[in-house]
Amino acid sequence: MRALGPGSVSSFLKIALDVIYVALWVWIGLLSVVSLVVLLMSFNPELLANRLHINGNVDELTGNGPLLAAALAGWALMSGGWMAIVERLRKIFGTLSAGDPFHPDNVRRLRLVGMILVGLEIGRYVFASVAHAIAKDVKVIDGSFTLNTWFSVLVVFVLAEVFREGARLRREAELTI
């Protein structure tokens, strides 16, 4: 089976990324609506208690509602980062499916993917520290250092440079008679 061109593995991966991209749009929309509903319900917890038949302490809903809404909004923001990565990968695999792996735009796309990965990881650290400061007794997110993530970021940046060198060699080959 071929890796590049129409009907190749890269074409299949492009289709899979298209499906994931649409699913992420739906997911982010759902998270946004749910976080808004949770935030609005936290201002009027009696409405929520009556609808869900909650017999417990309604004050707990008032206190935790904004935290839950913030966590859901953070999850939606992180999913937006994933969607941006998938969008760039779709474009890269589009050039691979067309048989043009060293398209000059792929360098910029891969660098952007690396920067988004860096932003997502730093955002995870910030969100974990803020969540820990606000709700010390609840472990919302793990903010520990992960070597795998930073290794992946480095791999993406190295691949961007490989694509840059490939694009440069292609330009030189086009100039050769």
The secondary structure of the chain, three-state, reads CCCCCCCCHHHHHHHHHHHHHHHHHHHHHHHHHHHHHHHHHHHCHHHHHHHHCCCCCHHHHHHHHHHHHHHHHHHHHHHHHHHHHHHHHHHHHHHHHCCCCCCHHHHHHHHHHHHHHHHHHHHHHHHHHHHHHHCCCCCCCCCCCCHHHHHHHHHHHHHHHHHHHHHHHHHHHHHCC
pLDDT of residue 19: 95
The list of the chain residues with pLDDT below 70 reads 44-66, 137-141, 177
Q: What is this structure's pTM?
A: 0.78
Kindly list the distances between the CA atom of residue 175 and the CA atoms of 39, 101, 104, 168, 171, in Å, as whole numbers in the listed order: 60, 18, 16, 11, 6
Predicted local distance difference test score (pLDDT) of residue 37? 77
Q: Please, which residues have CB within 8 angstroms of residue 49's CB and are 6 or more apart in sequence? A: 58, 61
Structure tokens at 27: 């997911």
CA–CA gap between residue 45 and residue 79 (Å, rounded): 28
Under 8 Å CB-to-CB from 9, ≥6 apart: which residues? Answer: 1, 2, 3
Quick check: 86 and 17 in contact, CB under 8 A?
A: yes
pLDDT digits (tens, 9 = 90+) for 138-177: 666 677 888 999 999 999 999 999 999 998 998 888 888 6
Predicted confidence at residue 172, as pLDDT, reads 87
